[in-house]
Amino acid sequence: MEPSLATLLLLIVGAVAVVGLVAAITAPPSILVGESQWEVISAFHGMGATVFLLGSTIAVYLSWRLYTGQLGAFKDLKWLTAFSTFMAGVTVAFGNWIYIWYRGPGGPRAFFLANMPEVHQVFFEFKEFIALFTLPTMVASTFLIWKYGPALKGNPELRAAASITFLLGWAFLLLAYILGAAITKLNEVG
């Protein structure tokens, strides 16, 4: 038996609430969010990416079930892919906003180019462009799932197209998320 959409959403909200509660208890607000414009935008970007990762991870599981032809909770997959696509747009928008500061004078780019140029090339430039692939892959998968609906179950080629496209988007997200966390550890926002 597959969980209901309400259970999946409750899991996402609960996980974010636990992380938020631990962060709120253990870190002063000025350290948690910061005081500059870029720190606040970065916090929204990071939280958006975390919610995106949680929701899309559940959707990847359901996409796998679709791929194998064993999906029973099609409605859940439909809404979670739409949610993931929306969160991809939000996260990419905040990420592009932060990119302005990253490349600006005195931003992390200057620090990385002066001290660790390979980090700039691999960690940030690769991360920035790989993260942009999440949006079109999520849009393509969501489009197929919403357009063809439950009829996907009877068409192995369409099932594969919708599932594999979503999985690719999730893989791009995972890479960008890990590299983004590493960048934050190497040179904090400020």
Q: Which of 18-27, 99-108, 124-133 has the highest mean pLDDT?
A: 124-133
Where would I find the beta strands (DSSP E) of 6-78? none
pLDDT in tens, 57-82: 989 999 999 999 988 888 888 989 99
pLDDT above 90 (res 166): yes
pLDDT above 60 (res 98): yes
Average pLDDT, whole number, for the chain?
A: 82
pLDDT above 70 (res 1): no
43 part of a folded domain: yes
Ranges 3-7, 89-93, 127-131, 155-159: which has the least confidence: 3-7
- Count Cβ atoms below 10 Å from residue 106 Cβ, excluding itself: 9
- The reported pTM is 0.78
The first and second tokens of residue 42, run together, are 């970065």
* 44: enclosing H helix or E strand: helix 37-67
Q: What was the pLDDT predicted at 96? A: 84
Angle between helices 37-67 and 156-186 (to 10 degrees): 150
Q: What was the pLDDT predicted at 35? A: 62
44 part of a folded domain: yes
For residue 129, what are the contacts with CB-CB under 8 A and spacing of at least 6? none
User: Residue 79 in contact with residue 7, Cβ under 8 Å?
Assistant: no
1 part of a folded domain: no
Q: Residues 9-28: what's their mean pLDDT?
A: 69
Q: What was the pLDDT predicted at 118? A: 80
26 part of a folded domain: no
80 part of a folded domain: yes
User: Residue 175 in contact with residue 127, Cβ under 8 Å?
Assistant: yes
Q: Give me the number of domains the chain comprises.
A: 1
Task: Express as a percent the part of the chain with pLDDT over 90.
Answer: 31
User: Residue 53 in contact with residue 171, Cβ under 8 Å?
Assistant: no
161 part of a folded domain: yes
47 part of a folded domain: yes
69 part of a folded domain: yes
Domain that holds residue 74: 37-186
pLDDT above 70 (res 154): yes
